[in-house]
Amino acid sequence: MYPSSCDTFVALPPSTEGQRIIFGKNSDRPCDEVQEVVYFPATDYEAGAKVECTYIEIDQAAHTYAVVLSKPAWLWGAEMGANEHQVCIGNEAVWGRESSDGDEALLGMDLVRLGLERADTAEKAVDVIAELLEKYGQGGSCMEDKSGFTYHNSFLISDRQEAWLLETSGKYWAAERVEAGHRNISNEYDITTEIDKEHPEMRQYAKNQGWWNGKAQFNFAGAYSYATPGLIEASGSRYCEGKRMLGKSNGHITAETMMDILRDKDSGINMEGMFLATGSMVSVVPTDPALPGVHYFTATPDPERSVFKPFIFVDNINPLKETTSPSYGPDDPVKKKPRFQSKPNRKHELFLKHELVSAIIESYKEKGKKITERMRKLEKENMTKMEELLSSGVKEAGPLVNLFSGSVKEEMALYSKK
């Protein structure tokens, strides 16, 4: 059985409170992996420029949008993130009848970052990822220490107006538009007969492989999923629990609702063990383009023991130093590529402090309870401030250039209190 990882959620009006889209994801990764939160400004490139992704070099776009990403420290791509146009993307590992073994190509995490850098709407992100899949393919180890761990990818993508579910199998794919209500995905194919976009040869390929007879109504999940559901059974229970919790709050889903779902351990959504939630994200994106989107990230494992900290896109954002991992230079003799870093040197400043506090919470019940209460209080105070901006708009952008970093420093100061 494959280890299951990640749950991604989106809620749109009328399932949310107010005219807002709420996006959320837990990134479940190996328990010793560090996840960082980083920001890259919009950039223009000369014709012929290249970009080195995790394993391969590809053509660079003429212009990339500003992005904030939550990403494993060792690779180029991201598990989840948002861009200046309020496009949000998260990916999921999926396994199906098409083998995921193959040469190194683009990782699903590379495609998350590329989609955010190159698309100003959710639908355009679908097109960007589909074009990159066709040109470069997907493949390569998705873990630094497990060369044989590979998978294909599904993506949940949202913007100010709608969401898209994009599911892939090799270079083949199908996409479904989500215009209202709520949707969640785990580690299994979920698109059935409602297909709004698709690879032009996707159906014929399934027919040639004997997965579809060409006569019955085409069902993407039915054709491309494993014939033996047991291989991904753990993801099914998480999916059902996630859907149930969203439904329970239908019509009243808020950022707090999404955070509570991501923190839920009984469902397995907040995963523990060899795989755990190494980073979490919740975004609040008003449908009104005059209002800012607020993107909350933990940058630390286990959202139950973490603080969701706000980020807003404004000009001249300062580097997120406290959540950016140290890296070696390209000439370091230990590793040729700076993305592959030795574990002791990869931990960023917030991660190191959080690691110590998590041990205290684990070992000392009363002291741990007090620390957790302080964390929740800080998170609530920040969310109250963000609510004013979400309702009234940004009147002065200057203080927001350090919004996320400032929140990180407040969290670290909290950890130092007696």
Which of the four pLDDT bands, split at 50, 70 and 90, describes residue 141?
confident
Distance CA 38, CA 68 (A): 6
Residue with tokens 């998978």: 151
pTM of full prediction above 0.85: yes
Residue with tokens 């399932």: 15
CA 61 to chain centre: 22
Average pLDDT over residues 340-357: 79
Q: What local confidence, expressed as pLDDT, does residue 273 receive?
A: 85
Average pLDDT over residues 170-180: 97
3-state secondary structure the chain: CCCCCCEEEEEECCCECCCEEEEEEEEEEECCCCEEEEEECCEECCCCCEEECCCCEEECCCEECCEEEEEECCCCCCCEEEECCCCEEEEEEECECCCCCCCCCECHHHHHHHHHHHCCCHHHHHHHHHHHHHHHCECCCCCCCCCCCCCEEEEEEECCCCEEEEEEECCEEEEEEECCEEEEECCCCCCCCCCCEECCCHHHHHHHCCCCCCCCCCCHHHHHECCCHHHHHHHHHHHHHHHHHHHHCCCCECHHHHHHHHCCCCCCCCCCCCEEEEEEEEEEEECCCCCCCEEEECCCCCHHHCCCEEECCCCCCCCCHHHCCCCCCCCCCCCCCCCCCCHHHCCCHHHHHHHHHHHHHHHCHHHHHHHHHHHHHHHHHHHHHHHHHHHHCCCCCHHHHHHHHHHHHHHHHHHCCC
Surface-to-core class of residue 207, CB atoms within 10 Å of its CB (0-12 exposed, 13-18 middle, 19+ buried): middle
Q: What local confidence, expressed as pLDDT, does residue 418 receive?
A: 63
Q: What local confidence, expressed as pLDDT, does residue 146 receive?
A: 59
Average pLDDT over residues 364-391: 95
Instruction: Give me 91's structure tokens.
Output: 């990916």
Distance CA 83, CA 115 (A): 9
Q: pLDDT (tens digit, 9 = 90+) per residue, 242-271?
A: 999 999 999 999 999 999 999 999 999 999
Which of the four pLDDT bands, split at 50, 70 and 90, describes residue 142?
confident
Among 6-20, 57-71, 143-157, 371-385, the minimum mean pLDDT is found in 143-157
CATH class of 7-415: alpha beta
Q: Taking the CB of residue 372, how many other CB atoms lie within 10 A of it?
A: 14
pLDDT higher than 90, residue 103 = no
Average pLDDT over residues 295-323: 97
Question: In the chain, where are the structural domains located?
Answer: 7-415
Distance CA 362, CA 412 (A): 18
pLDDT higher than 60, residue 230 = no
Q: pLDDT (tens digit, 9 = 90+) per residue, 313-347?
A: 999 999 999 999 987 544 444 344 444 444 546 79
Residue positions annotated with a catalytic role: 6
